[in-house]
Amino acid sequence: RRIQIRETILSHLERERQLFYKGIKVLSLFFIDEVAKYKQYDASGQAFNGLYADMFEEEYKQIIGNLQLEIGDGDGYLRYLDSITAEETHAGYFSIDKKSHRIIDSKLGDRRERTSDDVDAYELIMKDKERLLDCKEPVRFIFSHSALREGWDNPNVFQICTLKQSGSDVRKRQEVGRGLRLSVNQNGERMDTNLLGEDVHNVNVLTVIANESYESFAKGLQNELAEAVADRPRKVTVDLFKNKVIKDTSGAEQIIDMDLAQIIYEGLITSRYIRKGILTDKYYEDKKTGNVEIAEEAADYQESIIAILDSIYDSRLMQPENARNNNVELKLDRSKLGLPEFRKLWSQINAKSVYVVEFDQDELIRKAISALNRELRVSRIFFKVETGTMTDIQSREQLQQGTAFVKEVDEVYKAKLSPNAAVKYDLVGKVVSETGLTRQAVVSILSGIEKAVFNQFADNPEEFIIKTSQIINEQKATTIIQHITYNKLEAVHDTTIFTEPNLKGQLGVNVMPAKKHLYDHILYDSGNERAFAEKMDISNEVAIYVKLPRGFFISTPVGKYNPDWAIAFHEDKVKHIYFIAETKGSMSTMQIREVEKAKIHCAREHFKAISTDSVVYEVVDSYETLLDIVMG
């Protein structure tokens, strides 16, 4: 968002320098998703800047301070810029609460008419429109939450910045439409062809600073324009056929006159293919089976007439699939809870435990410092600015193909983080939160790493925090493995962990039916889990199994751990009857992170403490690997 704001200011100043001596006031419009991001109020009712307002003022001051004016810019524009402060050059147009007189998120009353519940907001916008066009008015940048809803526009909006996602009721051409007006100068003269001639297209250019890729924005806008330029007909009428060229079975062409058009239209009514101008289900059914009946006089032209009917917009073709049809809620088979095999399995694994870990914190600090110096590499922040232009629309086909927009510039910039940036980072606090170490330990680690390594924080604070925490946690995990022990508790997991959760999924996406599972279906997380379950479900060796719910977990110093499967085998088939399995796509220890390895080690220690040798816990990548282990 900061980059979008910066690019909007740069574009604004460039356009302003070009039009200043023509007497044309340049405005920029920001669309935001909530008022609080522009302005907030403290407990006493005093207003203060929101996130976007602070960002704007910081970027504006920095850009104006570094601005290198082009040759030809005179003292007039310099004085104009010097006379306006960052604080007074932006304003927000929002609904006003009548009681508190505070700006608020506007609310829609009648959505069909797009009217506002707050009349004051509408009047404020309309009354200020004339004043905004005066160069003596310092406001040049406008933040709005409801300009689209209020039907507001201003002819001198030259930049539109979308700091919000367009909702389903707001389309790109609606947003762009706020700036597609011929501008006016200080005398109120419209900058049209009568005044500017061919130069009209150089003056009246709208720049959109979008919050999506160039390709996505350009394609979306062009598709919407294509719909607006020539919508497909929605009803069958006589005029639909009139003057169309049709071919018979031999290829001979004929132009449909009014009489033939009327005959074709009446024939469709007789065949019950249209009702009130809308194509009926009978038409689509007959078309599917190849039995469409056309009036006798036009029967030889059936293929061409069907092609004309196909130009009618059919909303059913665009109807999305109803995903609810495939939704499944897992049902517990309570009879399986009472099976001897499951009861024995459950009695072996349901005990809870407590861990004790003792390690030298100084050792962990040394290892963390060494690992950070060796491994911490933070990428610099770069941003990409893509620029394209659509000067005219030659055809609907051009819009549909996405060739009306022409990309002109594609540049990558190294981000420069402002020293007075509004976003402040509690580096120590964040790392403490992510690692569970004391503030003193985190301070010792961060102050102990090399200066060049620590200086990477300024390049990319968020990535620095994430990677630093990951590396410390990995060192913490390896230290824990060497020093942790588990003790069995009297407390146990109750079978209610199987009855309480409401497990749902979509058949064919993350749910499959099952026979030997504790539930009638299995909710799987990956293709590997699905393949594993399919093999278990048809295996003669397996008596019963269950994908363990999240309520069954093992406490570890690096977070809760939830094993994947609990499996009971037939006693006469295998050596190890009860198995707790963790399925992984790869068995390579290089591909399993240190934290995950620590959790797996903790799970082994837990099951050693609570159960007998008849229970085996292991990480496997397939059912075949599992069988090799249980067969002994």
Within 13 Å of residue 261, how many CA atoms lie on the same side as its CB? 15
Q: How far apart are CA 425 and CA 402, in angstroms?
A: 42
- Stretch 299-319: mean pLDDT: 75
- Stretch 218-228: mean pLDDT: 57
| CATH (residue range 2-211) | 3.40.50
pLDDT of residue 443: 95
Q: What are the φ/ψ torsions at residue 103 (nearest 5 degrees)?
A: -75, 145
The confidence band for 5, taking pLDDT boundaries of 50, 70 and 90, is: very high
* Mean pLDDT rounded to a whole number for the chain: 79
Q: How far apart are CA 223 and CA 221, in angstroms?
A: 5
233 vs 376, higher pLDDT: 376
Which residue in the block uniquely carries the two structure tokens 């980059």? 3
CATH 3.40.1350 residue ranges in the chain? 493-631
The confidence band for 101, taking pLDDT boundaries of 50, 70 and 90, is: very low
309 CB neighbour count, 10 Å cutoff: 21
Instruction: List the alpha helices (DSSP H) in 257-360.
Output: 258-270, 281-289, 302-309, 334-337, 340-349
pLDDT of residue 153: 64
CATH 3.40.50 residue ranges in the chain? 2-211
pLDDT of residue 479: 81
pLDDT of residue 344: 92
pTM for this one? Answer: 0.46
Tokens of 560: 């809760």
For the stretch 247-289, pLDDT in tens is 888 888 899 999 999 999 999 999 999 988 888 888 888 888 8
Q: Of 1.10.238, 3.40.1350, 1.10.3470, 3.10.20, which CATH number belongs to 493-631?
A: 3.40.1350
Residue 358 exposed, middle or buried by CB count within 10 Å (0-12, 13-18, 19+): exposed
**Is pLDDT above 60 for 587?**
no
Q: Which amino acid is at 21?
A: Y
Answer whether 40's CB lies under 8 Å from 193's CB: no
Tokens of 527: 């293709």
Q: Strands of 382-429 (E only): list them.
A: 382-389, 406-414
167 vs 303, higher pLDDT: 303
Q: How far apart are CA 260 and CA 273, in angstroms?
A: 17
Answer whether 497's CB lies under 8 Å from 551's CB: yes
- Stretch 485-510: mean pLDDT: 86
Q: How far apart are CA 503 and CA 328, in angstroms?
A: 8
For the stretch 355-388, pLDDT in tens is 998 778 898 999 999 999 999 998 877 666 667 7
For the stretch 440-490, pLDDT in tens is 999 999 999 999 999 999 888 888 999 999 899 888 888 877 788 999 999
290 vs 229, higher pLDDT: 290
pLDDT of residue 422: 45
241 CB neighbour count, 10 Å cutoff: 24
Q: Which of 53-67, 113-127, 599-613 has the lowest mean pLDDT?
A: 113-127
The confidence band for 319, taking pLDDT boundaries of 50, 70 and 90, is: very low
Within 13 Å of residue 9, how many CA atoms lie on the same side as its CB? 24
The confidence band for 404, taking pLDDT boundaries of 50, 70 and 90, is: low
* H or E stretch covering 482: helix 461-483
pLDDT of residue 268: 92
Q: How far apart are CA 341 and CA 337, in angstroms?
A: 9
535 CB neighbour count, 10 Å cutoff: 15
539 CB neighbour count, 10 Å cutoff: 18
Q: Which of 31-35, 111-115, 292-296, 447-451 has the lowest mean pLDDT?
A: 111-115
